[in-house]
């Protein structure tokens, strides 16, 4: 079984580029150029330099002693929460902004739901002095005021999407419309392993730094460059893709993806795409998504904004269908419990998204000799309002 993308942009049955004809030119330009550019020595030198000096990589692989004692196994945390801007998203936005520059694009567009990808994009546009336009649903703009303020302070223009449900998918439509209208000048910067080929492959490559570092760090700490299990949360799937990347062909490593069950998969308030979704096309890609019998995308629910997405990237649909990945879910409540626990045991306040990965410790079996890596995708500063509200309810 092959887990890398093929020449047509497919992972098994999933992926491809299902886009309006008007976008063929833009996407072809990207497809023709991305590998050659990002694999060049000159690109890699600047990319690695910024990851080191600006982002703060390598992130530590921390042996969580008290968490390990509690579960009677060996738990390591890959500390993506320590990156500049507080999550793994910056690995990808740095990579794509360097690519955009080399393709002579002066104007960057992106969509954002909770605002995390918008902030990561506005950050690298400030760094590179490029014009930045972020599309965001009108409702999300109201819900995510602190991130909107951050984007504006970083010099981005935040444009409201006022159609439909006024949330992420409407912002995506606006961004695609903009790209069609401005093909020469504009680069569309996607924030996860989603969208038409070559985006899923490109984003996975930029995030693969996570498992590349893990290999070197595990050798040093355990004498072996692979763990028994890697656990990561999945929204679109970029932090999981990065954490799994260099282990996909090593069948000794169990890849565990944790989706957001929300209030439970038996309710309609969930974001567990592989459990309740079906095959279809979203964001230009054939994958699993949550849709009704008429093929209308249904509104997902998760307590964590970053997992509140109605699809998964095509790589994950393939890992799920082929059985290479183990897909489980954690509810809002289970994620909160895991968040309070790691905060007390390790002094680390995690992002709500990452708390879903931590909740997996309650759900899987392991022996005392196993080494387990949990990808701690982000820090919890942005989620304090939710954490405080829940503590008051206890
Ligand atoms: C955005 C986000 C996620 C979900 O996105 P993926 O593409 O699935 O990684 C997970 N964790 C954090 C901290 C995020 O900000």
Q: What is the pLDDT along the chain (394 residues), one digit of tens a residue?
A: 789 999 999 999 999 999 999 999 999 999 999 999 999 999 999 999 999 999 999 999 999 999 999 999 999 999 999 999 999 999 999 999 999 999 999 999 999 998 999 999 999 999 999 999 999 999 999 988 999 999 999 999 999 999 988 888 899 999 999 999 999 999 999 999 999 999 999 999 999 999 999 999 999 999 999 999 999 999 999 999 999 999 999 999 999 999 999 999 999 999 999 999 999 999 999 999 999 999 999 989 999 989 999 999 999 999 999 999 999 999 999 999 999 999 999 999 999 999 999 999 999 999 999 999 999 999 999 999 999 998 887 6
Indicate which residue's Cα is closest to atom 1 of ligand 1.
306
- Give the pair of three-digit tokens for residue 63: 């042996």
Pocket test for ligand 1, best of 238, 243, 374 (most atoms within 8 A of CB): 238
> Is the C-beta atom of 375 inside 6 A of ligand 1?
no
Q: How many CB atoms lie within 10 A of CB 155?
A: 14
The rounded Å distance from CA 93 to ligand 1 centre is 13
CA of 205 to the centre of ligand 1 (A): 16
Q: Which atom of ligand 1 is nearest to the CA of 193?
A: 7
Question: CATH number of 58-87+208-393: 1.25.40.10, 3.40.640.10, 3.90.650.10, 3.40.50.1100?
Answer: 3.40.50.1100
Domain boundaries along the sequence of the chain: 11-50+89-203, 58-87+208-393
194 C-beta closer than 6 A to ligand 1: no
Q: Is the CB of 351 under 6 A from ligand 1?
A: yes
Rounding to the nearest 10 degrees, give the CA dihedral for residues 288, 294, 297, 300: -90
Structure tokens at 267: 């309710």
The number of the ligand 1 atom at minimal distance from the alpha carbon of 238 is 7
Q: With CA atoms as reference, report the closest residue to 207 among 319, 93, 92, 290.
A: 92
241 Cα nearest atom in ligand 1: 9
| Three-state secondary-structure class, residue 351 | coil
With a 6 Å cutoff on the Cβ, whether 192 touches ligand 1 is yes
Catalytic residues: 89, 111, 377
The dihedral formed by the CA atoms of 229, 231, 236 and 241, expressed in degrees to the nearest 10? -40
pLDDT at 167: 86
Residue nearest to atom 3 of ligand 1 (CA): 306
pTM as predicted = 0.97
Q: How far is the CA of 353 from the centre of ligand 1 (A)?
A: 6
Ligand 1 atom closest to 237 (CA)? 8
CB of 378 within 6 A of ligand 1: the answer is: yes
Cα 111 to ligand 1 centroid, rounded to whole Å:
14
What local confidence, expressed as pLDDT, does residue 97 receive? 98
Q: Given this chain, do its domains 11-50+89-203 and 58-87+208-393 carry the same CATH topology?
A: yes
The answer to whether the CB of 91 is under 6 A from ligand 1 is: no
Number of neighbours of residue 6 by Cβ within 10 angstroms: 13
The alpha carbon of 321 and the centre of ligand 1 are apart by a number of angstroms equal to 22
**Cβ atoms of residues 197 and 8 within 8 Å:** yes
Distance, C-alpha 160 to centroid of its chain: 23
How far away, in angstroms, is 88 Cα from ligand 1 center? Answer: 7
Closest-CA residue, ligand 1 atom 14, reads 306
Is the CB of residue 223 less than 8 Å from the CB of residue 179? no
Residue 394 is predicted with a pLDDT of 67
> The domain 11-50+89-203 is classified under which CATH number: 1.20.1260.10, 3.40.50.1100, 3.30.420.40, 1.20.1430.10?
3.40.50.1100
* Substitution candidate for ligand 1 out of 239, 349, 376 with most atoms within 8 A of CB: 239
With a 6 A CB cut-off, is 92 part of the ligand 1 pocket? no
Q: What pLDDT score was predicted for residue 165? A: 84
Q: CB of 343 within 8 A of CB of 322?
A: no
């Amino acid at each position: 079984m092959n887990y890398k993308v093929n020449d047509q942009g497919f992972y098994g049955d999933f992926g491809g580029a299902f886009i309006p004809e008007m976008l063929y030119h833009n996407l072809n330009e990207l497809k023709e150029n991305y590998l050659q550019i990002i694999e060049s020595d000159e690109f890699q030198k600047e990319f690695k330099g910024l990851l080191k000096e600006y982002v703060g990589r390598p992130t530590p692989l921390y042996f969580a002693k008290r968490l390990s004692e509690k579960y009677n196994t060996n738990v390591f945390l890959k500390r993506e929460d320590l990156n500049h801007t507080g999550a793994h998203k910056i690995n990808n936005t740095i990579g794509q902004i360097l690519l955009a520059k080399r393709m002579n694009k002066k104007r960057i567009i992106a969509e954002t739901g909770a605002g995390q990808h918008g902030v990561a994009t506005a950050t690298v546009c400030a760094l590179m002095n490029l014009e930045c336009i972020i599309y965001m649903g009108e409702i999300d703009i109201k819900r995510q005021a602190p991130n909107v303020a951050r984007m504006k302070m970083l010099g981005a223009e935040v444009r409201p999407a006022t159609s439909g449900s006024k949330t992420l998918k409407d912002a995506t439509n606006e961004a695609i419309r903009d790209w069609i209208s401005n093909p020469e000048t504009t680069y569309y910067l996607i924030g996860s392993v989603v969208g038409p080929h070559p985006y899923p492959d490109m984003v996975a490559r930029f995030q693969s730094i996570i498992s590349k570092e893990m290999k070197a760090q595990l050798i040093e700490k355990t004498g072996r460059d692979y763990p028994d299990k890697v656990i990561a949360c999945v929204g679109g799937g970029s932090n999981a893709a990065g954490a799994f990347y260099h282990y996909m062909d090593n069948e000794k490593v169990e890849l565990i993806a944790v989706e957001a069950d929300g209030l439970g998969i038996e309710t309609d308030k969930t974001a567990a795409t592989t459990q309740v979704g079906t095959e279809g096309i979203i964001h230009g890609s054939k994958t699993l998504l949550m849709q009704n019998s008429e093929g209308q995308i249904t509104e997902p629910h998760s307590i964590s904004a970053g997992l509140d997405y109605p699809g998964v990237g095509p790589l994950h649909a393939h890992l799920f269908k082929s059985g290479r990945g183990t897909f489980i879910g954690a509810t809002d409540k289970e994620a909160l419990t895991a968040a309070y626990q790691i905060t007390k045991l390790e002094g680390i306040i995690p992002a709500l998204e990452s708390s879903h990965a931590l909740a997996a410790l309650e759900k899987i079996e392991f022996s005392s000799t196993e080494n387990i890596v949990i990808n701690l995708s982000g820090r919890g500063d942005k989620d304090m309002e939710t954490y405080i509200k829940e503590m008051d309810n206890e």
